[in-house]
């Protein structure tokens, strides 16, 4: 009975040593996760120990093993948390992914059809004392950028490009990597150029790295629409018309959205996002920044052309 190789599934009625019914159906065939101890009728003070007598381990040893495992997993979780917090701005990412269904639908419609939207400024979240403490999350503010739509759009773009190649009988699995590398290359180049321009023009860059990634990811939605048109068989003039329309819509969306980033308005920004290096932006500087904004919006067509063709 002791050494049977892997323990055979014991029928539930044979668990005569445990009169308390095991909540999760513990038995020798189940592994336990030390970090998640489910509640059972005796309360949390009595740890739930699996019945390991089939493996030749009596109760005391099993309890010690459980304790050891539990503390090991807790230590591992602490280590991971400490290191993740230094490499990834987790709270910032959580803010970007805090979206709701209605937000996603409205934002998708906004990127394709931004002409009639009226207020483009981001809203500030006020704490109870009336202090500004950061932007409102995307759930409550349609103008806030998010990372959910761009990441979904990139994945959709890679899959659609693969589908398109498969329909033309020129698919091989390597092109999935090539296409995603091309998408990341475009995003990285876009980000570098915008960051360089922001540095040259002394535009403040606090907490804006993730926002730049979000804004440069919105063009993938237009590219997905263009690819869908191509998959449906649209060719020639109409295809290029759709491509140009999505580019113009995306450029307009970027112009309106980035206007408040590049030409910040000190009265409506939260206090933890600094507003430029000096609060005086001269007229020539405003002209420079506006030209930079136009250049960024116009350069999107280069990226969209690289991706869509």
Partner 1 sequence: MALGFGTIIYVSLLLTNAIAILSEERFLAGVIGWSTTQPQPATYDPNGFGEAGGPGVKARIIVLISAVRTLLRMPLIFCNLVLIFYELILG
- Beta carbon of residue 202, minimum distance to partner 1 (angstroms, whole number): 5
DSSP state of 52: -
H or E stretch covering 256: helix 236-262
The rounded distance, in Å, linking the Cα atoms of 301 and 304 is 5
Binding site for partner 1 (CB under 8 A): 178, 181-182, 184-186, 188-189, 192, 199-202, 277-282, 284-285, 288, 306
Q: How far apart are CA 242 and CA 221, in angstroms?
A: 13
d(CA 300, CA 254): 9
Task: Kindly tell me which of 126 and 286 has the beta carbon lying closer to partner 1.
Answer: 286
Rounded CA-CA distance 296/4 in Å is 69
Taking the complex as a whole, the smallest distance from the CB of residue 158 to partner 1 amounts, in Å, to 13
Instruction: Indicate the residue among 168 and 278 with the shorter CB distance to partner 1.
Output: 278
Q: Which is nearer to partner 1, 100 or 277 (CB)?
A: 277
- For β-strands 132-135 and 124-126, DSSP reports them as antiparallel
How distant, in Å, are the alpha carbons of 93, 114, 142, 183 from that of 106? 21, 10, 7, 24
Dihedral (Cα; 173, 175, 180, 185), 10-degree rounding: 150
Looking at the Cβ atoms of 171 and 245, the one nearer to partner 1 is: 171
Closest CB to partner 1 among residues 85, 272: 272
d(CA 216, CA 194): 10
CB nearer partner 1, residue 27 or residue 276: 276
């Amino acid at each position: 009975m002791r050494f049977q190789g892997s323990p055979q599934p014991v029928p539930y009625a044979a668990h005569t040593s445990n009169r308390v019914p095991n909540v999760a159906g513990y038995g020798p065939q189940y592994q336990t996760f030390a970090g998640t101890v489910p509640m059972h009728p005796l309360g949390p003070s009595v740890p739930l120990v699996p019945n390991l007598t089939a493996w030749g381990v009596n109760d005391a040893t099993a309890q010690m093993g459980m304790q050891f495992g539990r503390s090991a997993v807790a230590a591992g979780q602490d280590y991971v948390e400490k290191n993740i917090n230094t490499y990834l701005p987790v709270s910032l990412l959580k803010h970007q992914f805090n979206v709701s269904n209605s937000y996603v639908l409205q934002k998708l419609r906004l990127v394709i059809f931004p002409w009639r939207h009226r207020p483009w400024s981001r809203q500030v979240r006020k704490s109870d004392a009336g202090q500004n403490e950061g932007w409102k999350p995307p759930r409550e503010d349609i103008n806030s950028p998010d990372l959910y739509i761009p990441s979904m759009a990139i994945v959709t773009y890679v899959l659609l490009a693969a589908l398109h190649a498969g329909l033309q009988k020129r698919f091989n699995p390597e092109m999935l990597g090539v296409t995603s590398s091309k998408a990341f290359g475009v995003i990285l180049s876009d980000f570098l150029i915008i960051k360089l321009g922001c540095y040259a023009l002394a535009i403040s860059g606090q907490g804006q790295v993730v926002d730049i990634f979000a804004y440069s990811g919105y063009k993938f939605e237009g590219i997905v629409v263009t690819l869908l048109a191509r998959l449906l068989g649209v060719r020639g003039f109409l295809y290029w018309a759709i491509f140009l329309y999505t580019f113009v819509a995306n450029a307009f969306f970027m112009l309106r959205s980035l206007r408040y980033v590049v030409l910040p308005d000190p009265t409506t920004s939260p206090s933890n996002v600094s507003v430029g290096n000096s609060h005086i932006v001269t007229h020539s500087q405003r002209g420079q920044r506006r030209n930079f904004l136009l250049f960024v919006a116009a350069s999107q067509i280069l990226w969209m052309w690289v991706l869509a063709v």
